[in-house]
Chains A and B, each alone.
Chain A
Amino acid sequence: MDFVFLTEQSLNGLQFGLMLFLLAAGLTLVFGIMDMINLAHGSLYMTGAYLAAALTTYSGSFLLGVGGSLAGTAVIGVLLEVTLLRTLYERDHLSQVLATFALILILNEFVRLIWGPQPVALNLPEALSGPVEVIPGLTYPIYRLLIIAVGIAVALLLYFLVSHTRAGMWVRAGASNREMAMAMGVNVRGLFTAVFAVGAALSALAGAMLGPLLAVQVGMGESILILAFVVIVVGGIGSIRGAFVGAILVGVVDTVGRTILPMTLREVFSPQVASNLGPALASILIYILMAGVLFWRPQGLFPARG
């Protein structure tokens, strides 16, 4: 295991974590502040990716594609909030799960009606599609470095918004004690809509940024949503800081599990056993992490509710 390999894997862990953060940030805000389980968050991620693909193909510019996708998905998010989700805040979690699960199915079929069942292309501009030599002997995709940069920038921006602005103060108040915040005169209705728009835009950013790396296809939101839920449960529901730390933790643990674990197992067991055991262990590693965190800190690492 040499230095190049370790550096590459560290970057991979960081990048995977930050990509999860983009998705988990919106989810944790909605879940934490509105106490609303939105399973359709992954569908907004899918919508973002499809919009980015369509707009990039149409305009020829990746930047325009991403920008348009953010705006478009935020609008769709607001429409969903105003028409449907708003009526669910007072209901129990089971109703929310059922309603938003139905929304997943509906949005999937919508996307299929518009774009067809086959995955669509979203490719990078020439300048971003190649690798760059980070350290001698290691060429790393430029685009993954960009994802790292965007992830960190979004984290800093959110940190500033939540900790140092008045709107952020309302958000924090809403997350830690909703009834009290309402009593203190926070415009909860408007705040919720705004938070939902930001959450939708963040998930669209994740979808649009990841589209060029991943398959833009129907149902792409469901598989990644599970990871996003793991992240916010580990980090503490409603906390941006928790989502950030949780995402990096999950990203790194997952990457370590997929590489170092099989290699170690191969030293100890026969290749046959190692190749059976390795992937199985690796895929449950993040759930072990989640179970461990929940055991010692049932509220997550950085709980928002005091």
Chain B
Amino acid sequence: MKRITTAALMACALTGGAHAADKVKVGFLSTLSGPSAAIGLDIRDGFNLVVKNHGGKLGGLPADVLFSDDQQNPDTGKQLAEKFLKKDRVDFITGIVFTNVMLAVAPAVFDAQTYLVTANAGPAQFSGQGCSPWLYSTAWQNDGAHEAAGKYVQDRGFNNIALIAPNYPAGKDALTGFKRFYHGPVLEEIYTKLGQLDYSSEIAQIRAAKPQATYVFLPGGMGINFIKQFVAAGLNKQTVLVGPGFIADEDIIKAVGEPMVGLFNTSQWAHDLNNEANKKFVADFQKEYGRLPTVYASQGYDAAQLIDSAVRDVKGKIEDKAALGKALGAANFKSVRGDFKFNVNHFPIQNFYLRQVVKEPSGRITNKLVGIVLPNHVDVYGKECKMK
């Protein structure tokens, strides 16, 4: 009996009798070195901008953001997450870029009953039956941008297309997502080696197939290579190139330049989206870092805003995990992407937009918002999620 009372008292001390914490600790685990570092660094810059704008605080509490580099390696990520959870005892973990790192890290974070706010990766494994109350996404479910691209191609009335993606799980998911909304015939479905450099052979295949449109999901450097070679081969005059926002973001545009002009792409965000939060974000980001933000930066910014809003809503009592979870779920902040709220699986319900790469009169090459492709898009996995 005595033991039970003690336990109850302790539980009270831990949760019921929660008082405001003296600071909020965030473990920022991301890919900050290697070929894909640009993505992690942009998420970091977006996240830091919020902290800076709030005078070093999140939700009114002094913010202690600890940075770690997972080196795009699931094992490293797992070790660093263990350190965050056991040694630093962080209140949130965020920043993870890659799906494979997330798959390795997340179970330990969920077990430790710590909130994971993902600012990029959104694997199917955690979207359906494997959904978790400890996970919130300020990015997307992995399929989203591809589904939107499929819808766009379908709506444009293209009825023969070619698809190209890397031969790894996310590549196959991408094309599955695309085909969920595109129902016409597929002339070529090409899977390339991950990290391939030269696409001359695939370009010849596409040329021979003569598709009206070509959908390309080749993230990072692969996409840069493909687009440059595609244009040099003159194929942009024979087929319309379409991609998800990741292959036509500011970092890629900076590397490719002129050849990208005209490319249609789909994303949940655009730097010229007309809302107050976004205008402030883009202006602040440019002032702080001297470049246009990427979609990754916008996701990092929203991740920090979400944490900020939740900590504020529980009045700093972050030890009360249940209340904190409720506050996170309310998404009580102005997202830079316009409206969004969480689906049952804690992935966003949000608009997907069509953007086109254009050359402005000033000579700057950048993305221009064209319109909405999928309004208030809900991912297909949510209905398998038993969470409420």
Contact = CB atoms under 8 A, between A and B. Distances in A.
Interface of A: 2, 4-5, 8-9, 12, 15-16, 19, 108-109, 112, 117-121, 123-124, 129-131, 139-141, 143-144, 212-220, 223-224, 254-255, 258-259, 262, 271, 275, 278-280, 282-283
Nearest to B223: A215
B80 interface: no
A279 B189 CA distance: 11
10 contacts: A112-B37, A117-B37, A118-B254, A123-B257, A141-B232, A144-B200, A214-B228, A218-B34, A219-B35, A259-B202
A218 B41 CA distance: 14
Contacts of A220: 35, 221
B255 interface: yes
Given A8-B207, A130-B234, A219-B34, A121 B257 contact: yes
Nearest to A9: B204
Contact of A259 (B195, B205, B232, B255): B205
Given A117-B41, A119-B224, A217-B221, A283 B193 contact: yes
A262 B192 CA distance: 11
Contacts of A123: 256-259
Given A119-B251, A139-B233, A282-B193, A259 B204 contact: yes
Q: Is the interface of B mostly helix, strand, loop or mixed?
A: helix
Contacts of B38: 117-119
Given A112-B37, A129-B259, A217-B35, 10 more contacts: A12-B201, A15-B200, A119-B254, A120-B254, A123-B259, A129-B232, A130-B234, A214-B197, A217-B221, A279-B192
Q: Which of A5, A130, A218, A278 has the most CB of B within 10 A?
A: A218
B109 to A, nearest CB: 26
A16 B198 contact: yes
Interface string B243-266: 000000001101111110000000
B1 interface: no
Contacts of A280: 167
B233 A140 contact: yes
Contacts of A2: 208
B360 to A, nearest CB: 17
A213 B225 contact: yes
Contact of B200 (A16, A129, A275): A16
Interface residues of B, number: 41
A214 B201 contact: no
A277 B212 CA distance: 27
A255 B196 CA distance: 12
Contact of B229 (A117, A213, A275, A282): A213
A216 B255 contact: yes
A112 B225 CA distance: 20
Given A118-B38, A215-B221, A141 B233 contact: yes
A144 B224 contact: no
B221 A9 contact: no
B342 interface: no
Which of B190, B225, B228 is the most central at the interface, judged by chain A CB atoms within 10 Å of its CB? Answer: B228
Can you list the 8 inter-chain pairs with the closest CB atoms, starting with the nearest? A131-B234, A215-B221, A119-B255, A215-B224, A12-B200, A219-B35, A279-B167, A141-B232
A303 to B, nearest CB: 28
Interface in B198-237: 198, 200-202, 204-205, 207-208, 220-222, 224-225, 228-229, 231-234
